[in-house]
Amino acid sequence: MIRSTPPVTDPVGVVGLGRVGSHAARQLRSGTAPLVIFDSNTHVTERVLGALRPVDRAAAGPDLAARTVVLATPAGRHTAAAATLIRAGSSVVSTSDDPKDVRGLLALDRAARQNGVTVVAGVGLSPGYSCLHALFASRHFERVEELSVWTTGTAGPACASRHHRSLQLPGQVIIDGQWVEKRGGSGRDLAWFPGELGARDCYRGSLAEPILLRRLFPHAQRISSRTSATRRDRLTGALPMLRRPHLDGGPGGIRVEVRGLADGGYRTEVVGMMGFPSVAAGATAAVAALHVHHNQPSPGAMGLAELVDGNPRTMLAELHARGITASRFEGAS
């Protein structure tokens, strides 16, 4: 199906105005397309709308009449919401980091192609931004053998709740080229993050990175992902959260390692980023949505790093211009 270039008046939508969605909406102000936003909490919608442009508006429901929609509702129900948007002819950028959502969204590939739209799964700090850096670092390698991602910090309350649950659920990793299920909360690993974040104990859990990295690097022998947790996180993981999460989780970051063959030897590339996960995830979602909206990529379902067709440099440069900057580790690893 041949897709036409959207007119300037064709809106971009944002459904869900929590910490990530509200940051995405503010970042989308830089585009030429008008915005249409929705949240089930009308007070939140009015507050976010007050920070936008006169041309932007609020919708009465989640079924937005928008060419491209950022789906930033709490993780767990993105597949059904995306399917409805696809049938309405909207491309979807999902911020969910839930593996079930990511798999479900990728399974909508046929529906997306039939409707001539693009579905981008796992568009946040992790996965999403982390996958862009894994792809960017891989340019140095003749063959990528191993990929590892560590994350620390959360965005808003919904993200904190997801993190709490993820440590109790099994996760899948790649070992010797095969999928292997690992118990949540296992595999303790001390990871060093940039700046004041320092060293954090990280553990396996129900994390989406291996799903998306496997699509990028189908021949890699090992792919893993871990997230930081305190002793209290692990001891109380099987219980409901003992207190309400903070409105914003504060500073966090990622560490990405790519290992493989390069220049006749075995090489390791390490990239890290420190910032507010809510801001980084919102900016990443906004940049991805603008890319989909204005460039009209091929229809189908994919991860963010697949969207850039093997060249993440331009998108990373745009994120750098918006204050989302990574650092390359140099030294002995």
Lowest average pLDDT, out of 28-32, 133-137, 284-288, goes to 28-32
Proportion of the chain in helix, strand, coil states, percent, rounded to 5: 35, 25, 40
Q: Is the pLDDT score of 234 beyond 80?
A: no
The domain ranges of the chain are: 12-124+280-321, 129-277
Q: Is the pLDDT score of 328 beyond 90?
A: no
Fold for the domain defined by 12-124+280-321:
Rossmann fold (3.40.50)
Whether the domain at 12-124+280-321 and the domain at 129-277 fall into the same CATH topology: no
Q: Is the pLDDT score of 316 beyond 80?
A: yes
Domain with residues 129-277, CATH architecture: 2-Layer Sandwich (3.30)
> Crossing angle for the helix pair 209-216 and 99-106, nearest 10 degrees?
40
Tokens of 287: 């940049």
Average pLDDT over every residue of 158-180: 90
Q: Is the pLDDT score of 233 beyond 60?
A: yes
Q: Is the pLDDT score of 2 beyond 50?
A: no
Model confidence pLDDT, tens digit, residues 119-135: 999 999 999 999 999 99
Phi, psi at 212, each rounded to 5°: -80, -35
- Mean pLDDT comparison of 55-59, 63-67, 155-159, highest-scoring range: 55-59
